[in-house]
Amino acid sequence: MTVLPVRTVPDPVLRTPAAAVPDGQDVRGLVADMTETMHAVGGVGLAAPQVGVGLRVFVFDVAGAAGHVLNPVLETSGAPLREPGEGCLSVPGLRYHPARASEAVVRGTDVEGRPVEYRGTGLLARCLQHETDHLDGVLYVDRLDGEERREARRRLRAQTPEPEARRIAARRDGLVDSAFTRRRPGASDRPGGPR
Ligand code: ZN
């Protein structure tokens, strides 16, 4: 197993909706690496785009529940709650309080193709919503409103992009000659390139 580098904003892979894991595709290695990475960096959840892979997979380990889901379908219910707040490995150094449904269930499959269902309230519900959002290219800071939203935007603008993220952004914007690029796993390889 391998600890993978975690992509951070403004890496475009975080803003690219992930593709469904095709039937029969073996993602056991990916899930093992993502789980090891999540534990190594002290996260409670990690979605494949956060390690540069544009597939609908996430792993989690929070509030006594742990697992992974391929092609999750999310259903929420209950009153929206702002506590206890959220952070994100891909948006380092920030913590805010997006409103999240108090109950959530995801249904999908495991790496063996068997159906799985995870149901939770509180932190687990928040985590399931946060990770499913990642697969749609949505970050938790998008879910903020009011003063928190303004402050988050200000602080994100002030952050210096990491060199790798700058390189990807430059390629996306057509500023880098194609000879400079190389193939990378994940969403960036899909037709049309990063969005
Ligand atoms: Zn996150």
176 inside domain: no
CATH code of residue 98: 3.90.45.10
pLDDT digit string, tens, across residues 129-142: 999 999 999 999 99
**What is the residue range of 18's domain?**
12-170
pLDDT digit string, tens, across residues 141-153: 999 999 999 999 9
> Average pLDDT, stretch 29-43?
97
| pTM confidence score | 0.81
pLDDT given at position 158: 85
180 inside domain: no
pLDDT given at position 159: 76
Cβ contacts of residue 72 below 8 Å, gap of 6+?
56, 58, 106, 107, 108, 128, 131, 132, 135
**Centroid of ligand 1 to alpha carbon of 46 (angstroms):** 7
193 inside domain: no
> What percent of the chain is predicted at pLDDT more than 90?
77
67 inside domain: yes
41 inside domain: yes
| Residue 190, φ and ψ in degrees, nearest 5 | -70, 155
**Centroid of ligand 1 to alpha carbon of 82 (angstroms):** 16
**Centroid of ligand 1 to alpha carbon of 39 (angstroms):** 14
182 inside domain: no
Count of structural domains, the chain:
1
pLDDT given at position 81: 94
Q: Is the pLDDT of residue 6 over 90?
A: yes
Q: Which residue has the tokens 């519900």?
A: 125
Q: Is the pLDDT of residue 73 over 70?
A: yes
99 inside domain: yes
**Centroid of ligand 1 to alpha carbon of 16 (angstroms):** 14
> Average pLDDT, stretch 64-93?
95
pLDDT given at position 91: 96
- Return the sign of the alpha-carbon dihedral for residues 149, 152, 157, 158: positive
Pairing of strands 45-47, 57-62: antiparallel
**Centroid of ligand 1 to alpha carbon of 177 (angstroms):** 32
Q: Is the pLDDT of residue 155 over 60?
A: yes
5 inside domain: no
Catalytic positions, please?
A: 131
